[in-house]
Structure 1
Amino acid sequence: MARYTGPDCKLCRREKTKLFLKGSKCLGAKCPIESRPYPPGEHGRGRTKESEYQLQLREKQKTRRIYGVLEKQFRNYYEEANRKSGKTGENLLSLLERRLDNVVYRAGFAKSRDAARQAIRHNHILVNGKRVNIPSFLVSEKDIIEVRGKSTDLTPFVVARAESEAHQVPAWIEIVSDKMRILVHSLPVRQQIDTQVQEQLIVELYSK
């Protein structure tokens, strides 16, 4: 399985914003973007003229990196969103939000999407009572996602349970913290997604 294995903090610096890829490190003073808020590399501090294409490309790259998706898979999500009725950009974000690794992260059961992917790959997560170890699995309305019984005593999930009251979750899911369970009440719509991206720029880029 292809995946990005480089330094996550360089991705945040390249996009000149926090992508929250490293969990609690992103919230502290040790976050590299606090001390070096410019792109990495020899010419990172240089001035660049931002063209229309560059703005569209950077928005696509930022969105792709937030959700931890490689280019081919991201393009597939776009094509699927384009086939659906409604606005393509909003459909695209809805598909990305429905990824199982994102749902586990949004619920507060993992500090980052990377950590959520690891939990899923290690068979700690059940969907409707069945083991699912595919992070890109798309959840559906009325799905029940939960931490496997034997895994609830592992430190990351114990911490998540203790911090559940302070964690804000999207309106389209509900958390039953004592049972480490996620209830999917509906599919996400744009108003319920707080990801700071301009999806219309992505649509314009792929429409060229």
Structure 2
Amino acid sequence: MTERSFSEWLREQCEPEWTAVVTHPFAMAITTGTTAGDDMRRYLEQDFQFVDSFTALLGAAVASADTFEARVPYGKFLGQVATTEEKTYFHRALAELGGRTDVPLEPVTVAFRQLMDEVRARQDYLLIAAVLCVAEWCYLGWASRAQEPLPESFVHREWIELHEGADFRGWVAFLRGELDRLGVGLDEARRHEVLGVFRRAVELERAFFDMATG
């Protein structure tokens, strides 16, 4: 390993795929409020299908984390996902777009849920943190590119706001910090095991954006 952090090393190993995610044309269209209505509806309908698996993955992080100090942020974020604005956003946005919460799963949605469920079932905290970090860091990556003024439509504006700002940046910094802390002293085989999961999650993020415009 070089002097750069483990999380940064993981991200660098996933180029150019990582940059393709955070600058994806569909993501950039969200930041400008110019996505086609059907594309945004399809995207949010499928993204909603992750709520249960993502919530279960957060719960697994609480259970498998190696310190009390690590468990607390996961528990706090878990409560936010389950009870606050992100959950209500989906229902309001899908109602606005004429979408539904009960839709057939696209293949990429199935594959991403399987990845979440696989690392959750293993109760391997480092791999759980890797999948969570990709999901959140990627979204901060594109949302932070939005320029003021944000789109007038709440469907776009609130989705950006949910993935940008001091609280969300702090959450991503925590996830990266956990990878950095746990990555110290890993042998080469373990580093590449984590990289394999991290890279798979990045590939799925790109495929998910591709699906939205497919």
TM-score of the pair, normalised by structure 1: 0.28
Higher strand residue share: 1
Choose 1 or 2 for highest CA Rg.
Answer: 1
TM-score of the pair, normalised by structure 2: 0.28
Larger RCO (CA within 8 A; separation ≥ 6): 2
Higher helix residue share: 2
